[in-house]
Chains A and B, each alone.
Chain A
């Protein structure tokens, strides 16, 4: 029996503010335990949370970038639960009035564009971190993360494959990074993902019973965790079994999902309005100002790179992976004759260099102007592509202008007709066998002569010129 997979994702993103959402403690990853806490974080009696203006602004910006309608009036609610990661025994979240609703994210899959609905975006606070003892007899609690501002982004059940789930996550990350909402580092937990997955017989409208998978802490694991669960459910259903509604945890080491709890112990969170925080009332001007902060987003950039520069879709998607990379390309492309050459150099040698050195494009020791200059020097025949690769490496190491390096090292191509002719004459005289072969119709023999010529000039001869010159000289003999 054929099944259709239905997936919905809940993505949590920590906002890149300086302070926490409801107090002035610093929002910092990696500080020593319990050094970023105050009475508000600790849930001490009598404290008063106050909303961080920047957290609100970033949340609204994110909701707009995800094409949501923003509520002019919303509120916070208490989500009650009892667990040591939350000293108050509730999380301040938003229940029935989220800041954003009815948005969407577009992903490129199977050569086409697919729209994944975003049900809602809401603001909430993060919880503390538990470190379980090796023997499992106690836990240590670090409350630094309590109160770190989060947005939760809930997708519609529009995702049909584990690959689409990964692509959706990657697109969400890309959009939020473009907007400077968050650094979205999965390895540091500033981007986290829970997934709901169910299977239904192909053609059936009603959803099957779903399971929820938590703890998928990389893009790869999102796809792998869902692939595992998809297979597990398909096998169970094909064997006539039933799926039980459960919460599972993806275990990377054993590459399988592990039961955390079943539906019977599902929580009742007893939500009620947070009385300590005023309602959030947003003017049309405020929302318009947040909208104006959104830069050109990755999907628009990809589309423009194809339209404006005539790039292949693949190039456009690689170059828009981050906003800084896209802006770097834009700057180079504006200065060179053919944007595709800028794309080739960036996607090839430059990205390889970043990978080797572990650098980000922002840290690279070569300005877009310098790369454009290098490409210009190839275009006008000053240097060959082969020499350009060496020059590029030197620019990245020394930060000097390509023109200066070429001058210093005498790397300019020899395009002087008379000088080249003299060398060509020597090469022809020294290689009578090759000349004879070429005359006898062996085209390859010409290549050998050109090779000799390049050797004599240490690669600096203009290859097109040499080719033509040697052929002419042999013919003219």
Chain B
């Protein structure tokens, strides 16, 4: 499978990224090589190998239950496309 510049433009639009034609061209090539690598992996014979969900030792990693200050609301909302009443304002959505 080959990734086209149209595919890159489509994904960029979904991710709300604005790309130049040159970037689209470069990314199409780079993403294509990543997918090719995945194809190579998919070709491996893994019969009898149990799935590995995680890399690393079998130690549970936890942190103590101690509160630390949160962000100031203005900072929390700084990247919001729209805000109102100290909340993120989003287009009306039906209950999911």
Q: Does B70 contact A (CB under 8 A)?
A: yes
CB distance from A470 to the nearest CB of B (A): 69
Query: Who on chain B is nearest to A83 by CB?
Result: B96
Query: Who on chain B is nearest to A27 by CB?
Result: B67
Q: Does A421 contact B (CB under 8 A)?
A: no
Q: Does B64 contact A (CB under 8 A)?
A: yes
Q: Does A25 contact B (CB under 8 A)?
A: yes
- The interface residues of chain A lying within 8 Å CB-to-CB of B45 are none
Interface of B is mostly: loop
Given A37-B76, A273-B54, verify A53-B90 contact (CB < 8 Å).
no
Contact at A279–B70, with CB atoms within 8 Å? no
Highest count of chain B CB atoms <10 Å: which of A83, A137, A140: A140
Interface extent on B, as a size class? 20 to 34
What per-residue 1/0 map shows which CB atoms of B5-40 lie under 8 Å from chain A? 000000000000000000000000000000000000
- The interface residues of chain B lying within 8 Å CB-to-CB of A19 are 65-68
Q: Give the A-B pair count, Cβ closer than 8 A.
A: 121
- The interface residues of chain A lying within 8 Å CB-to-CB of B60 are 51, 56, 278-282
CB distance from A282 to the nearest CB of B (A): 7
CB distance from B5 to the nearest CB of A (A): 25
Contact at B63–A50, with CB atoms within 8 Å? yes
Interface extent on A, as a size class? 35 or more
Q: How far is the CA of A175 from the CA of B36 in the complex (A)?
A: 54
CB distance from B68 to the nearest CB of A (A): 4
Contact at A139–B90, with CB atoms within 8 Å? yes
Contact at B92–A273, with CB atoms within 8 Å? no
CB distance from A221 to the nearest CB of B (A): 17
Query: Who on chain A is nearest to B80 by CB?
Result: A141
Contact at B54–A136, with CB atoms within 8 Å? no
A residues 278-313 near B (Cβ < 8 Å) are 278-282
A interface vs B, CB < 8 Å?
A: 17-19, 24-26, 32-39, 41-42, 50-56, 73, 75, 81, 83-85, 130-133, 136-143, 249, 260, 273, 275, 277-282
Would you list 26 pairs from A and B whose C-beta atoms are within 8 A, ordered by A residue?
A: A18-B66, A19-B65, A19-B68, A25-B67, A26-B67, A32-B73, A32-B86, A34-B77, A35-B70, A36-B70, A52-B63, A52-B65, A53-B63, A55-B65, A56-B60, A56-B62, A73-B58, A83-B96, A130-B93, A133-B92, A136-B92, A140-B84, A141-B89, A142-B87, A143-B88, A279-B58
